[in-house]
Amino acid sequence: MTREIIGNERTGENYVRIKHDSGLEILIWKMPGFSLKHAIFGTRYGSVNTTFKTEDDTDFVTVPEGIAHYLEHKLFENEDTDVFDLYAQTGAFGNAYTTFDKTCYLFSCTDNFIPSLKILLKFVQEPYFTEETVAKEQGIIGQEIKMYDDTPDWRVFFGLLECIYHRNPVRINTAGTVESIAQITPELLYRCYYSFYDLHNMTLAIAGDVDEEEILKACDELLVRKDDKKLISVVPEEPEEVAKHYAEESLEIAVPMFSYGFKSKPVADEELSAESALGEITLSLLADETSPLYKELYDSGLINSQLYTEMFSGNGFFVPIISGESRSPKTVRELVDKEIERRKTVGFEKERFENIKKAYYGNLIKTLGNAEGLATLMINAGLGHTGSAFASIDAVAKISMDDVMRFLSERLDTANSSLFVINPKEAV
């Protein structure tokens, strides 16, 4: 077992990184005097990891879309009890989530931290799948998928990804489709579990007023030591150009919704925090409520009071996005494109740049006083191979106007963009 302190001169904060003998990376951020404690046990396994192999496999296998999310649901049930009943006995609040590139199990509590931690470590390492329980879950998740398909915010987001990507699995709902989850079997779940839920592929992140020795004692007791399976997961090769420049559909909404994104080259793990933060700041400069673009769109009645910007980025995908509601989405696109090209020439005002950068930096610093936020920073760093939980803070502090101009030029290619629109259904 190895132990090191990860510190940051800029903030004066630090946390402990331990490489356990089992292969698990353990990250502990001690917060003396804080009552809330938060723990996250995660694996590098998300919806994009549908094609993979380990050293035990002769060739790659491709599994149904949505199986990572499905496995997350099923892991909460074992042969004789439900995990939430166990958490209820310790007073902890448990939950889990599956994203495009990770699955995480978590809990928060004020008391009984070690008993709650033991529940987490134990159930995540004890899969139990049967034909009966798998079939039961197919109906439940099938209804969840149908609900998402009828949710405008969800559909406008995935509609955009379907326009941007040809083959990358991010274009598919993280829960899969009704057709794909119907192909899931206990055998497939076990194969995915034993491939990805390998402690060498996982991280445990803990923040709060906790005792490191007690945590390691629980880990020594419950972590199952196994050899590294040398997992390899691949994503289909993706063309540089978007799949479609425009698409639309109709749902029961009052005003058309749009999502406008720019297809950009994926970023290496160690550069992801910096490039994503740079993207957030650049998009804010371009289109937040203090921007000339926002004022033009709002004053002309092309948008309502909301215009959203976000960076959709991760392992194998990178898309700057602008979204909102408009009765003329194509006109909004034209004006956004015009402003992007103008800014590539004239740049942005230095004062606005400094103000937006300071506000973004301040929001990151606020996270340092929150156990859940700190545990999330650490799990994202651990599973994402981004270096340290301080990566975003350091990156923002170093961002310059030259960086913004580079981002504009390299990442906001108006010729390689997609617009997806949801229109109101016409009355019959």
Write the CATH number for 413. Answer: 3.30.830.10
**Predicted local distance difference test score (pLDDT) of residue 148:** 86
With a cut of 80, say whether residue 386 has pLDDT above it. Answer: no
Catalytic residue among 25, 65, 72, 238: 72
With a cut of 50, say whether residue 134 has pLDDT above it. Answer: yes
**Domains of the chain: total:** 2
- Per-residue pLDDT band for 79 (boundaries 50, 70, 90) equals confident
Residue 240 lies in a domain: no
User: Do 178 and 299 share a domain, yes or no?
Assistant: no
C-alpha 211: how far from chain center = 29
With a cut of 70, say whether residue 124 has pLDDT above it. Answer: yes
User: Do 331 and 198 share a domain, yes or no?
Assistant: no
Residue 239 lies in a domain: no
- Residue-wise pLDDT tens digits, 209-261: 999 999 999 999 999 888 899 999 998 889 999 999 999 999 999 999 999 99
Residue 114 lies in a domain: yes
Q: Determine how many CB atoms are found less than 10 A away from the CB of residue 402.
A: 9
User: Do 230 and 259 share a domain, yes or no?
Assistant: no
Residue 311 lies in a domain: yes
Residue 120 lies in a domain: yes
Select from 210, 234, 258 the last residue of a domain: 234
Q: Which domain holds residue 178?
A: 2-234
Which residues share a beta bridge with 47?
Answer: none
* Coil, helix or strand at residue 177: coil
User: Do 211 and 307 share a domain, yes or no?
Assistant: no
Torsion of CA 73, 76, 82, 83, to 10 degrees: -130
**Predicted local distance difference test score (pLDDT) of residue 405:** 98
With a cut of 70, say whether residue 428 has pLDDT above it. Answer: no
User: Do 142 and 62 share a domain, yes or no?
Assistant: yes
Select from 170, 204, 234 the last residue of a domain: 234
Mean pLDDT taken over the chain? 95
User: Are the C-beta atoms of 260 and 323 separated by less than 8 Å?
Assistant: yes
User: Do 35 and 178 share a domain, yes or no?
Assistant: yes
The whole-number average pLDDT for the span 151-177 is 95
* Coil, helix or strand at residue 389: coil
**Can you point out the beta strands (E) in 275-416?**
307-314, 317-325
Select from 234, 257, 278 the last residue of a domain: 234
User: Do 190 and 319 share a domain, yes or no?
Assistant: no
User: Do 47 and 130 share a domain, yes or no?
Assistant: yes
User: Do 185 and 289 share a domain, yes or no?
Assistant: no
Distance (Å, rounded) from C-alpha 385 to C-alpha 379? 10
**Predicted local distance difference test score (pLDDT) of residue 305:** 86
User: Do 228 and 280 share a domain, yes or no?
Assistant: no
The whole-number average pLDDT for the span 122-138 is 91
User: Do 211 and 310 share a domain, yes or no?
Assistant: no
Instruction: Give whole-number Cα distances, 362 to 126, 291, 359, in Å.
Output: 41, 20, 5
With a cut of 80, say whether residue 334 has pLDDT above it. Answer: yes
With a cut of 70, say whether residue 323 has pLDDT above it. Answer: yes
Q: Which residue has the tokens 């356990």?
A: 20
Residue 351 lies in a domain: yes
Residue 241 lies in a domain: no
Q: Among 41-55, 78-92, 225-239, 374-388, which range has the highest average pLDDT?
A: 41-55
Does the active-site annotation cover 72? Answer: yes
230: left (phi over 0), alpha (psi -120 to 50) or beta: left
Q: Determine how many CB atoms are found less than 10 A away from the CB of residue 78.
A: 15
Instruction: Give whole-number Cα distances, 228 to 54, 91, 106, in Å.
Output: 9, 35, 24
Q: Can you give 31-79 as a three-state secondary structure string? A: CCCCCCEEEEEEECCCCCCCEEECCCCCCCEECCCCHHHHHHHHHCECC
- Per-residue pLDDT band for 427 (boundaries 50, 70, 90) equals low
Residue 202 lies in a domain: yes
User: Do 274 and 193 share a domain, yes or no?
Assistant: no
